[in-house]
Amino acid sequence: MSDVAVVKESAPDGGRPVDIRSGSLQVRLAENAADIDAVQALRYRVFYNEMGAQPTPEMARQRRDFDEFDAHCDHLIAIDHALGDGPEAVIGTYRYIRRPAAKKLGRFYSEAEYDVSNIIAFAGEILELGRSCVDMRARNHTTLQMMWRGNAAYVFHHKIDLMFGCASLPGIDPDKLAAPLSYLHQHRLAEPALRPRALPGRYVEMDRLEPGSYDPIAAEAELPPLVKGYLRLGGFVGDGAVIDHQFNTTDVSIVVKCAAVSEKYYRSYVRRAQNAGVTWNPIDGKQ
């Protein structure tokens, strides 16, 4: 496993910033090297074994997905305690990159594919989401809802105003993805002030089909569940797709204003924070 440095934080009430439980499921932040190792093992199973991504020789030897960002990020983990208390119980993950982590590394992860200078210049708190995956045994509504409740708790704890990141469509032939890419460009393009743009050397045109030449409803249905989830939260996409040959995907840039996220995700955290004397609310932006 690559070296990691995990810093534990406290929530306003002195507990974990993220700790959600429902039945045998728990969502919290990774707290030690063993947690990170389990996350990297899960990512390897999903991205490389299942989806056919191409690992580096060292990744293949360790059977772990890792990079230089892991040591500086927070990692959300979903745990199914019915599967045990070891690494086999980690069934889902998200990786969070905030400004301090990006500053240490000199960039956000997305900057390898997109010009996100508009987002970096945004006055509020920003959060890059990435490296999300769920074990094939746990790909269901309950797991995904728990992970989004975890995302919301993290957003609330850090007073995040804007989320962004890359999301993937399977395959590297944009012509086979012409309908969903055209739908995203024509119906879900982010406002210019917050719109990422694919880097010139990697830019792939998304606006591939004329409006009216395809069924928008069918095109939206073709999108992966994660992308559709971002859209349901009020998300938008940047200009241009990017082919990721290592991961065998076509990437799009996603932008989500946290004020657009459904208020149901925040109710319990609003009550908890208010009891601790915290008045900030991500829905209305009050301080």
CA 221 vs CA 215, 228, 260: distances in Å: 10, 8, 22
Q: What is the pLDDT of residues 84-127, one digit of tens each?
A: 988 999 999 999 999 999 999 999 999 999 999 999 999 999 99
Pair type for strands 162-170 and 126-134: parallel
Q: Residue 2 — left, alpha, or beta (φ > 0 → left; ψ -120 to 50 → alpha)? A: beta
pLDDT of residue 8: 42
Q: Using an 8 Å Cβ cutoff, are 40 and 58 in contact?
A: no
High-pLDDT (> 70) share of the chain, %? 85
pTM summary value: 0.85
**Quick check: 237 and 185 in contact, CB under 8 A?**
yes
Q: Where are the beta strands (DSSP E) in 124-189?
A: 126-134, 162-170
Residue 261: the pLDDT is: 61
Q: What is the pLDDT of residues 250-283, one digit of tens each?
A: 999 999 998 766 454 555 545 544 554 444 333 3
Q: Are 30 and 71 in contact (CB under 8 A)?
A: no
Per-residue pLDDT reduced to its tens digit, 162-201: 999 999 999 999 999 999 999 999 999 999 999 999 999 9
> Does the pLDDT value for residue 132 go beyond 60?
yes
- In this model, does residue 1 exceed pLDDT 50? no
- CA-nearest of 236, 282, 285, 286 to 261 is 282
pLDDT score of 140: 86
Q: Which amino acid is at 159?
A: K
Is 203 in contact with 250 (CB distance < 8 Å)? Answer: no
For the chain, state the CA radius of gyration: 19
Give 272's strand partners. Answer: none
The domain segmentation of the chain, as residue ranges, is 19-275
Average pLDDT of the residues of the chain? 86
Alpha-carbon distance of 40 to 98, in angstroms, equals 20
Mean pLDDT of 137-162: 90
Nearest to 91 by CA among 18, 26, 150: 26
Amino acid in position 83: L
Pick the CATH number of 19-275 from 3.40.630.30, 3.20.20.70, 3.40.50.720, 3.30.420.10: 3.40.630.30
Predicted local confidence at residue 2, as pLDDT? 39
Q: What values do phi and psi take at 52, rounded to 5? A: 80, 20
